[in-house]
Chains A and B, each alone.
Chain A
Amino acid sequence: MDKLAPVMDDPRRKDNIRTGIILALLAAASFFGFFAKVYFFR
């Protein structure tokens, strides 16, 4: 296997992880939010 792309030890790695987690939470909020909306306020 090739060496991992050089972004893994990039100084911006921490920022990337933070941004990624925020976006994943947005996606989760969209999923569960819609589910809850339909379930409780139909």
Chain B
Amino acid sequence: MSAVIDNHAPAHGHDSHDHGDHHGAPHGLMRWVTTTNHKDIGTMYLWFSFIMFLVGGVMALTIRAELFEPGLQIVSPEFFNTMTTYHGLIMVFGAIMPAFVGFANWLIPLMIGAPDMAFPRMNNWSFWLLPPAGILLMSSFLLPGGAAGVGWTMYAPLTSQMGPGMDTTIFAVHLLGMSSIMGSINIITTILNMRAPGMTMMKMPMFVWTWLITAYLLIAVMPVLAGAVTMTLTDRHFGTSFFNAAGGGDPVLYQHIFWFFGHPEVYIIAIPAFGVVSQVIPAFSRKPLFGYASMVYATSSIAILSFIVWAHHMYTVGMPVAGQLYFMYATMLIAVPTGVKVFNWVATMWKGSLTFETPMLFALGFLFLFTLGGFTGLVLSLVPVDVQLQDTYYVVAHFHYVMVAGALFSAFAGVYFWFPKWTGKMYDEKLGKIHFWLTLVFFNMIFFVQHFLGLAGMPRRIPDYNPQFTEFNQISTIGAFGFGLSQLLFLYILLKAIKSGKPAEQKQWDGADTLEWTHLPTPMPYHTFENPPTVK
């Protein structure tokens, strides 16, 4: 394992002309409030996302605690509904998305040899919209009637029956959407215009490609979500009837608009996760990524296909059979480019000289479990099966394999992989591995059994259930608390490394070959690539 640590790397970068950093980072609170530095902003995104991860996690534990036994023990059914709703909203918009935007901020300028993001002041604004959005979201709980227990999808007509907590939630979604759109504009502009000489599009690291594609997806669909919740708002307060059947509207229309956003959103989360894994697996296989060009085309195909499959979330609303068939086949088509990607990751490892440090372990966990989540997605794409499984725990199990074992595992892989570069300190490898194994085991304890619950017919989003489901629910709940505690170990690993970690090498992983490892010293100066490197 220590083979990865390259003791012969120069202590300082061989990029001696890159020393624009004469005064280092400014100090104090105002550094963070006014910063325009992509590294600072990336750090803030990552910490914000971790805090939201803990908040959403506490909500998940509330859900699991209530479901430990049949019957009502801990919370009221209304409060239970708000827990499922805000757990979803916070994890999707507050935890996973900002985590990958944090990676984008840190890594894209470094990987393409740019001095910073293209619009540094807008970048500051993109981040600082998030804390108010988070506070607005949480303030729903303090309003009369409480938060909105409508589910994270915010379906009409339930949304028109909620108290003012619904409105704060809608405004929070607006702010989160604005932040994402501005972040995407920044990312696309940086990638298109700011690449170092010689860094052609097809030489960009795969992570940069995945974010370019993701940012286009965001620009296309975040405004659609903003439109949907704005229509909900005008239905609630300004006399329109977009989704109100009594006024001539159609509640199913909301579902179409939401899922036109919602399905691409799955890939907005998954594609940057693919990007991180596509950097980590080659580094620990000591081989270039297999099939780079096919990876770019497969990712683009996934992004394009994601626009034409949305109604697979709505098979049971009463659509024509022709519609069901179309959405079924279109959805199954996505398995083809996804299969290309999985094949390429496996082929990258084939005959590589593999080592299994923590980032690689999380990347492999991603590979196994995300693929499993993809398979259950394929199962759910079959109309006759989905009619049975719609709104059961099978669906919950499926998308948590995609969101947790997919996106979250990839984010962990990325944090462990780049932590030495970002901080100049090395984390405790042994504790990192323990964190991985605990996370892996408890994750499967929570969600693997939920497949069986769903197949047996347990519906999602209910606080009570038939006693026949008790055993699997208890396994799931115990797993959930283990999973939650394991993440405190993660926090401890990070803090310990920041405080007293051993100094990291410039090229901590000898298979890592992107510019931040090959051209920049560890720790990095505050400003990097003020004079762009030349890429051969």
Contact = CB atoms under 8 A, between A and B. Distances in A.
Contact of B26 (A2, A19, A27): A2
A30 B221 contact: yes
Interface stretch (B125-133, B186-194, B313-321): B186-194
A2 B193 contact: no
B30 to A, nearest CB: 7
- Tell me which of B34, B35, B227, B249 has the highest count of chain A C-beta atoms within 10 A of its own C-beta: B227
B20 A6 contact: yes
Contacts of A10: 115, 194
Contacts of B242: 38-39, 42
Contacts of A26: 219-220
A4 B120 contact: yes
B473 to A, nearest CB: 40
A16 B31 contact: no
B118 A16 contact: yes
B166 to A, nearest CB: 20
Contacts of B223: 27-28, 30-31, 34
B38 A1 contact: no
Contacts of A8: 120
Given A2-B37, A7-B194, A27 B181 contact: yes
A19 B227 contact: no
Interface residues of B, number: 47
Interface string A8-35: 1010100110011001101110110011
Given A6-B115, A27-B181, A15 B193 contact: yes
B193 A19 contact: yes
Contacts of B120: 4-5, 7-8
A30 B219 CA distance: 8
- Of B118, B121, B194, B224, most A-chain CB atoms within 10 Å: B118
Interface in B108-130: 114-122
B492 to A, nearest CB: 31
Interface of A: 1-2, 4-8, 10, 12, 15-16, 19-20, 23-24, 26-28, 30-31, 34-35, 38-39, 42
Interface of B: 20, 23, 25-26, 30-31, 34-38, 114-122, 181, 184-186, 188-189, 192-194, 219-224, 226-227, 230-231, 242, 249-250, 253, 257, 526-527, 530
30 contacts: A1-B26, A1-B34, A4-B121, A5-B117, A5-B120, A6-B20, A6-B116, A6-B527, A7-B115, A7-B117, A7-B120, A7-B194, A10-B194, A15-B193, A16-B118, A16-B193, A19-B118, A19-B188, A19-B192, A27-B185, A27-B223, A30-B223, A31-B223, A31-B226, A31-B227, A34-B223, A34-B227, A35-B230, A35-B231, A38-B227
Given A2-B31, A2-B36, A20-B189, 8 more contacts: A2-B35, A6-B20, A6-B116, A16-B193, A20-B185, A27-B185, A31-B227, A35-B227
